[in-house]
């Protein structure tokens, strides 16, 4: 006799969902066995790369657009504008196609042709503009805002400071993690770009557990947040840089602003550890993740060592390595960043590109 497949345990729903937007979220929570065995903790990764647009930013994109709809700011046939070179643009392009909006993306003209092409394939109107500092009015973010203001029935989603971003994680990612762990979770950690994921999830877990679940920021070099938190609120100058994309910040965004004071601490992860984890996750778990996700996993492991065995620690697997593979698996690129030696001998076989 055929035994029923335990669909719900595998993260599936038993009913169909409405289109692209209905497929955002409800991602599996994966136990990372190698790390869990090594630390004596349960280290769990929320598989956000399984969102239909391929990243955690599908949630922010949907949250921002639905918020504008609810506010009556975006009506049928309207235009969604954002300044982004990354996953938010991809998420917005998908959401806009699914909902029938135009999507206009401003980005610095230093971005790869691959990124521009992908957004255009997804139907977005891509406008590469000179790469100038934020203080300059011609910066891509300001141009996005101005264009939206000058266009009827258009919104600037403003992913960094529009708190509908964190709110969506508060309403979806946080509750999903709480349910999927059966309320057995001690700590949460992830890195931040806008801060939407960290702030939304951390606030939900803090409130629902009466402060028992502690959240920690994970930060790459070149971001000011680690020193801000560990110095008790002094913003310092940016120093260093990182190969990770989509994360690291020079300021406290509005999305992060309300939650940062509640964080239990911060971890700074060097690129050597993040890149090694990209390869290790592939080798021991069969999971193909980008560098920001790998940084999150390193942070979860370090947290496990700090907190001691028996704890459950959750982090975010933001996106897959597909969008970065020409760099992350290229010997020349790794050498140019001084990272070739960070890959252990037995994992060097994965460096398949020249």
Ligand X SMILES: Cc1ncc(COP(=O)(O)O)c(C=O)c1O
Least distance (Å) between residue 169 CB and ligand X: 7
> Please, which residues have CB within 8 angstroms of residue 299's CB and are 6 or more apart in sequence?
189, 190, 191, 216, 218, 267, 269, 315
DSSP percent split of the chain into helix, strand, coil, nearest 5: 45, 15, 40
Based on the residue annotation, tell me whether 57 is a catalytic residue of this protein: yes
Question: If binding is defined by CB under 6 A, does position 192 make contact with ligand X?
Answer: yes
Residues within window 36-65 making contact with ligand X, judged by CB under 6 A: 55-57, 60
Task: Number of residues interacting with ligand X: please give it, by CB under 6 A.
Answer: 22
Helices 271-280 and 291-307: angle between axes, nearest 10 degrees: 100
User: Does 111 interact with ligand X (rule: CB under 6 A)?
Assistant: no
CA 310 from centroid of its chain's CA atoms? 27
Cβ 55 to ligand X shortest distance, Å: 6
97-103 contacts: CB < 8 A, separation 24 or more? Answer: 97/20, 97/122, 97/123, 98/19, 98/20, 98/21, 99/21, 99/65, 100/76, 101/65, 101/74, 101/77, 102/77, 102/78, 103/79
In the bound complex, which residue of the shown chain has the CB atom lying closest to ligand X?
246
* Binding residue (CB under 6 A) for ligand X from 52, 246, 248, 320: 246
* Among positions 126, 318, 328, 351, the unique one binding ligand X when judged by CB under 6 A: 318
88 binds ligand X (CB under 6 A): yes
* Closest distance of CB 260 from ligand X, Å: 12
| Given the residues 18, 33, 46, 57, the one annotated as active site | 57
CB 236 within 8 A of CB 143: no
Which of 47, 103, 247, 269: binder of ligand X (CB under 6 A)? 247
**Closest by alpha carbon to 30, among 206, 201, 177, 208?**
177
195 contacts ligand X (rule: CB under 6 A): yes
The least distance separating ligand X from the CB of residue 166, rounded to whole angstroms, comes to: 8
CB 15 to ligand X: min, Å: 28
Q: Does 86 contact ligand X by CB under 6 A?
A: yes
């890195």: which residue's tokens?
191
Three-state secondary structure call for residue 183: coil
Q: Which of 89, 193, 220, 248 binds ligand X (CB under 6 A)?
A: 193
Q: Which residues bind ligand X (CB under 6 A)?
A: 55-57, 60, 86-88, 191-198, 245-247, 290, 292, 318-319
Q: Catalytic residue numbers?
A: 57
């Amino acid at each position: 006799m055929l035994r029923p497949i335990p669909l719900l345990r595998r993260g599936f729903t038993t009913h169909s969902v409405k289109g692209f937007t209905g497929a955002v979220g409800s991602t599996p929570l994966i136990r990372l066995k190698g790390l869990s065995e090594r630390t004596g903790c349960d280290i769990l990764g929320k598989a956000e790369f399984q969102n239909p647009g391929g990243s955690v930013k599908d949630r922010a994109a949907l949250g921002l657009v639905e918020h504008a709809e609810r506010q009556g700011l975006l009506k049928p046939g309207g235009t969604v504008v954002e300044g982004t070179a990354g996953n938010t643009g991809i998420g917005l392009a998908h959401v806009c196609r699914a909902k029938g909006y135009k999507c206009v993306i401003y980005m610095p003209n230093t971005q790869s042709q691959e990124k521009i092409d992908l957004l255009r394939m997804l139907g977005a109107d891509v406008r590469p503009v000179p790469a100038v500092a934020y203080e300059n009015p011609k910066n891509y973010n300001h141009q996005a805002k101005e264009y939206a203001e000058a266009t009827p029935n258009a919104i600037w989603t403003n992913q960094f400071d529009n708190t509908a971003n964190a709110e969506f994680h508060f309403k979806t990612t946080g509750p999903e993690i709480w349910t999927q762990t059966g309320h057995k979770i001690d700590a949460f950690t992830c890195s931040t770009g806008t801060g939407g994921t960290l702030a939304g999830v951390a606030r939900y877990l803090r409130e629902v557990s009466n402060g028992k679940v502690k959240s920690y920021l994970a930060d790459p070099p070149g971001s000011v947040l680690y020193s801000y938190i560990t110095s008790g609120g002094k913003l310092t100058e940016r120093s260093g840089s990182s190969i990770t994309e989509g994360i690291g910040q020079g300021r406290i965004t509005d999305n992060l602003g309300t939650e940062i004071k509640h964080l239990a601490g911060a971890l700074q992860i060097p690129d050597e550890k993040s890149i090694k984890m990209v390869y290790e996750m592939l080798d021991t778990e069969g999971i193909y993740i980008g560098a920001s996700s790998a940084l999150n996993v390193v942070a979860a492991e370090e947290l496990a060592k700090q907190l001691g065995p028996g704890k459950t620690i959750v982090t975010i697997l933001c996106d897959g390595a597909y969008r970065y593979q020409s760099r992350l698996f290229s010997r020349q690129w790794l050498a140019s960043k001084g990272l070739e030696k960070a890959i252990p001998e037995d994992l060097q076989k994965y460096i398949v590109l020249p």
